[in-house]
Amino acid sequence: MWRIFAAAAFLVFGAGAQAEEDVALKAGAGRDVVENYCNACHSLDYPRINAPFLDRQSWETEVKKMITAYGAPITPADAKIIVDYLTANYGSGR
């Protein structure tokens, strides 16, 4: 159920936010990798919106989905960097 809410929140808040303002992610190791890959397809509001809901396993699932379902050209090494960054800075268990 939380995934439906997260997806709806992204569609309502995330998709339009990129046109309105640039989103600044939290400083941290891997931020540049996240910005390069993730911002290519969607707003960087996605981590902030989903932070209350996604733990490490969930961020791993989300990154895997971006690769397998949407064809994001993310290498395994960069996928780990992305998950590490998102978990440390936007994970629900932080």
Question: In terms of pLDDT, which residue wins out, 90 or 7?
Answer: 90
pTM metric for this prediction = 0.75
| Per-domain boundaries in the chain | 2-90
CB 34 within 8 A of CB 85: yes
Determine the topology of domain 2-90 in CATH.
Answer: Cytochrome Bc1 Complex; Chain D, domain 2 (1.10.760)
Beta carbons within 10 angstroms of residue 58's beta carbon: 20
- Interval 14-25: pLDDT, tens: 554 444 467 899
User: Which of 44, 33, 42, 43 lies closest to 74, judged by CA?
Assistant: 33
> Averaged over 68-93, what is the pLDDT?
95
Q: What is the 3-state secondary structure (H, E, C) of the chain?
A: CHHHHHHHHHHHHHHHHHHHCCCCCCCCCCHHHHHHHHCCCCCCHHHHHHCCCCCHHHHHHHHHHHHHCCCCCCCHHHHHHHHHHHHHHHCCCC
Whole-number average pLDDT of the chain: 84
